[in-house]
Structure 1
């Protein structure tokens, strides 16, 4: 009898458990009615917000969206952030009104308002010079740590390899190669005034992702003009670019290792020029364009020996650089988060020139970003030390007008000799050298040192020996 009762109780329990399970299945099935194919969701977005969204059906095939209709918000922007971002997609505005293109999500590119809101949030962390100086001190220490510089600083300096001097009417050029970690070299050319022998100001001159980089004619014009104005202009290759391609593939440039190597290389170059007796250590600047501009901002944030900074078509609160060589290491996550505008503010109260244009992420610099910089410089009573040159009808380049703005800024803030300056900055009578003449290791790389490593795998082994694994 007892066994029959036990069997009966078990049967009743199983019956009720089955009801619960069926109920859960029913609930799950009901909720799954909210799952929609991404292609249908895009159609819903177009109807709801009266826009056109272009996309390749092959890119959205078989992608399902959980709770799709619940993720819609009052406007298209909110829905995009809530619905598309988690799937790795974003909408990019087209030239035609109310028309968008579905693209892969870009971690490094925010919507302008998002960048401005974040910048405003950052600005609430400090209210005067003292609180800003505290923030700046914390940022510099944290950024240096995020760059792994603390693990590389024990590497002893290596002697620079200097090529033959090529002399022209009023300036000279000398190629160099510098071993920055065992087996890794950074190459470039030093442009110097011919007759000036002491108190020479320096301008480190990196460049961005334009074809031919530092070998381009407009780049050479800039370096030569700086030398003719009395500066030492140091141009150098970014990682896996230019002569660095003798050691690494071009694809290696888009890596976190590139961000580390090119900043550490610039630091070693700075160490070298600061050791030269003819250099005026109170006048040391850095000015690059595009990726070289974000590199300039970062270098000035990392090292306070720079006394002037001029990033060109680079600084933005909603764009962090279009390459891992600019944002591949966690520098923007330190101290509760930062961005390139706050990093640029770390130059205050030293002279800084922001150059922007009307066709890229710098087109709205005057709205929030530059006023923020003025506010920070105002803590020191030095608002006139930060300037903004905007070219609304120009695009993403380091063109003639942008170079003119740089020359004028340097003439004023480095107190350069004004005699014949107008003729010099007109860039007339400049002799452009063939690319091969600017190589440090020969036309075919025949002079590459025997200890030079080749490839990312070998680089990772070297970095691992310094407890760096990216």
Structure 2
């Protein structure tokens, strides 16, 4: 019986492959001291040393996700409906296939005033409920305000949340599926007429922060990255959708989320942290590591930190107001469009809509007949 238990503890059956449980780095995998020591040990001394390390980290992420290349995107036409005219922006309900039969669901925010070209911004959301994910006030205000600044903005559901009910959120290969969805979200955003591929940003909080630094690490099309309340030397993400596959550890190889986020360099990146979660040490631990990596590229001005020691884990008003100027400066957005006569950023015109107004699938717009339903069916889809 002990041998059976030992085997069960050692391996996890995932898509027909055995994954060693000791290769999964969940939650606070390191102590704070261990996280700090790891970064000190892996501080790169030269650009060539870092570039070699960066390539290894990217390769290990792809190997751990069983995603060495992104799958071909279905050729189906995106679903877009229920356009709403707001104060300085519009909102549409959208869906598109990331895999045959799996629909990424979300909302597209656009500036009301036509422009010759637009920056594009991906806004993945974090874990949360009442309401879930993209329907939360902090998410709607972030997307609407960025659209008022002149960007076309896409927010989409985490798997198992919002309209994305084709599988449970704790899907064994959730980190793989959500990375595929993030890549498809970028493809969709770039397909919109007028979106400038040289001006693409991405920002999300918590689990959305993980999606932000993972896609930015793997896809050079992301030009500006703002992971909020997530980058930590000792905390690896507590959800299956972040650390449920061996992207941080394999045999003698080990990395952490700071090194992964540092793969953004030398592209502009803003870290936003607070004093009440795993990002509380950013000023003393994580940010100095980032500065050193950017220093190797001679791009120290491209990395910044806003640390709010008295705040908690969210994407609240002060965190958003730290992000807007950074995005405006690097993506050519109009910050004055959201600044009042006192010189303060004003989010008041960003109206928070009811969930029913933002949902993609309803009686009038049913889920497509080819939608793959259930964890088992979605896992089989990921094996193809």
Which interval holds the TM-score relative to the shorter structure? 0.7 to 0.9
Change (3 A) 1:156 1:419: same
Equivalent of 1:302, from 218, 242, 246?
218
Change (3 A) 1:198 1:145: farther
* Runs of 5+ consecutive residues of structure 2 not aligned to the other structure: 1-8, 10-23
Q: Deviations over 1:66-86 (max 9, x none)?
A: xxxxxxxxxxxxxxxxxxxx9
CA contact (8 A) 2:119 2:200 kept: yes
CA distance in 1, matches of 2:71, 2:53: 24
Q: How does 1:55-454 map to 2 (within 5 A)?
A: 107-109=26-28, 110-123=30-43, 126-150=44-68, 152-211=70-129, 212-245=132-165, 247-248=166-167, 252-333=168-249, 336-423=253-340, 425-442=345-362, 447-454=366-373
Cα drift, residue 417 of structure 1:
2.3
| Structure with bigger gyration radius | 1
Task: Normalising by structure 2, report the TM-score.
Answer: 0.87
CA contact (8 A) 2:26 2:244 kept: no
Cα drift, residue 234 of structure 1:
0.6
Q: Deviations over 1:398-454 (max 9, x none)?
A: 111001001121122222224344138311233221111111112x69610111121
- Structure with bigger helix share is 1
CA contact (8 A) 2:201 2:331 kept: no
Change (3 A) 1:419 1:367: closer
CA distance in 1, matches of 2:40, 2:171: 30
Number of the residue aligned with 2:382: 463
Change (3 A) 1:121 1:159: farther
CA distance in 2, matches of 1:254, 1:284: 29
CA distance in 1, matches of 2:234, 2:75: 37
Number of the residue aligned with 1:35: none
Q: Deviations over 1:315-365 (max 9, x none)?
A: 001000010100111111258221110011111111101000010000111
CA contact (8 A) 2:74 2:97 kept: no
Change (3 A) 1:390 1:408: same
Cα drift, residue 155 of structure 1:
4.8
CA distance in 2, matches of 1:158, 1:136: 35
